[in-house]
Amino acid sequence: MILELAVIYTNRLDACRDFYRGIGLTLVRERHGNGPEHYAATLADGGVLELYPATSRPETGYLRLGLTAPPNGAGFLPPGRHTLTDPDGRTVVLTVAESHPGQVPPEPRTVARPPAVGAGPRASNGGPVPPEGRPGVTYTEIAEHYGMSARYLSENPRWGRHPGWPAAIGRRGRTIEFDPEAIARFFGEHHTREAAALEPSRRYTVVEIAEASGLQPDSIRSDISRGRWPAPDEMDGDRKLWRGETVTTHLAGRRIYRNKPK
């Protein structure tokens, strides 16, 4: 799975910033509107990694990062595969490849969640892939895979509270885990792609779009700041407004947005 945007929530923002800068990422300090100050790095293929301050205890997880570095590049680890641990205890598997003028950078070059040991077909069934050595996936990992917020996923009757939602198979600390194949079947059988319920001519704010679509407001603001969101149809003072039809057309190009059970 290739992620256009990966967000890490941490209680040790400065320490994580220094850690990811230390392995070769160029992190820039940002703030969207009244949102929290955070850091963002744009990867070679256009993917974005963001570090946000956590509002609760952050989950440790597993990331795979691929970087290309010039021969004997200062500030980079030597070419090869490195297994590191960030300040939150998150496992980071870093592959550093040496680049040369005119050379096509090897894959992987983006943030991805790797297949679990022995998972095999789970990586190709369209569903989320658990961290290495774990049998299941959490609400957070499911939400990341399908492009929505974990809270929206877990509390919405169309998703986590749907009567057909798969039963838990265990726990990771205080966090419930679900079978990734069962999750993939649920999304395939119970949900079909459907546009967000926006009135075509009505004007919507970012927050209102997020409420209707299940996206995180900060994700929308991040897309806006990077030119990945249509220009506002209107301005009301400092407020940006989009017509419903503008948003619906844009969201139709996303991998997933608000869905409805059959």
Residue 164: C-alpha distances to residues 47, 83, 182, 189, 198 (Å):
34, 38, 10, 10, 26
Phi then psi dihedrals of residue 26, to 5 deg: -100, 100
Shared domain for 125 and 187, answered yes or no, is yes
Parallel/antiparallel/unpaired status of strands 91-98 and 62-69? parallel
Instruction: For residue 156, tell me if it sits in a domain.
Output: yes
CA separation for the pair 150, 214 (Å, rounded): 10
Instruction: For residue 107, tell me if it sits in a domain.
Output: no
Is the pLDDT at 258 greater than 60, yes or no?
no
Residue 206 burial (10 A CB sphere; 0-12, 13-18, 19+)? buried
Cβ-based neighbours of 120, under 8 Å, separated by 6 or more: none
Q: Rounded to the nearest 10 degrees, how much is the dihedral formed by the CA atoms of 24, 41, 145, 11?
A: 90
One-character DSSP codes across 3-62: -SEEEEEES-HHHHHHHHHHTT---EEE--TTSPPEEEEE-TTS-EEEEEE-SSPPPP-E
Q: Does 20 or 111 have the greater pLDDT score?
A: 20
Q: Does 199 or 215 have the greater pLDDT score?
A: 199
CA separation for the pair 250, 244 (Å, rounded): 10
Instruction: For residue 198, tell me if it sits in a domain.
Output: no
Shared domain for 13 and 85, answered yes or no, is yes
CA separation for the pair 206, 219 (Å, rounded): 10
pLDDT over 70 percentage in the chain: 66
The CATH number of whichever domain residue 9 belongs to comes to 3.10.180.10
Task: Give the mean model confidence (pLDDT) for residues 199-221.
Answer: 84
Is the pLDDT at 242 greater than 90, yes or no?
yes
Q: Does 190 or 227 have the greater pLDDT score?
A: 227
* pTM of the predicted model as reported, rounded to 2 decimal places: 0.36
Confidence of residue 116 (pLDDT cuts 50, 70, 90): very low
Phi then psi dihedrals of residue 222, to 5 deg: -65, -45
Amino acid in the structure at residue 220? I
Is the pLDDT at 110 greater than 70, yes or no?
no
The CATH number of whichever domain residue 171 belongs to comes to 1.10.1660
- Residue 85 in tokens: 């641990």
Which stretch of 19-33, 71-85, 144-158, 216-230 has the lowest confidence by average pLDDT? 71-85
Residue indicated by tokens 């983006």: 110
Instruction: For residue 251, tell me if it sits in a domain.
Output: yes
Is the pLDDT at 188 greater than 80, yes or no?
no
Q: What is the DSSP letter of 235?
A: E
Confidence of residue 104 (pLDDT cuts 50, 70, 90): very low
Task: Give the mean model confidence (pLDDT) for residues 203-209.
Answer: 91
Residue 145: C-alpha distances to residues 30, 83, 233, 256 (Å):
24, 23, 30, 10
Is the pLDDT at 103 greater than 60, yes or no?
no
What is residue 64's predicted lDDT score, i.e. its pLDDT? 67
- Going by C-alpha positions, the residue among 246, 243, 127 that lies closest to residue 183 is 127
Instruction: For residue 77, tell me if it sits in a domain.
Output: yes
Last residue of a domain, one of 161, 193, 225: 193
The pLDDT tens digits for 120-168 are 333 345 678 887 778 888 998 888 777 777 888 888 877 888 888 999 9
Mean residue pLDDT of the chain comes to 72
Domain residues for 214?
Answer: 203-261
Shared domain for 189 and 212, answered yes or no, is no
Domain count, the chain: 3
What is residue 80's predicted lDDT score, i.e. its pLDDT? 75
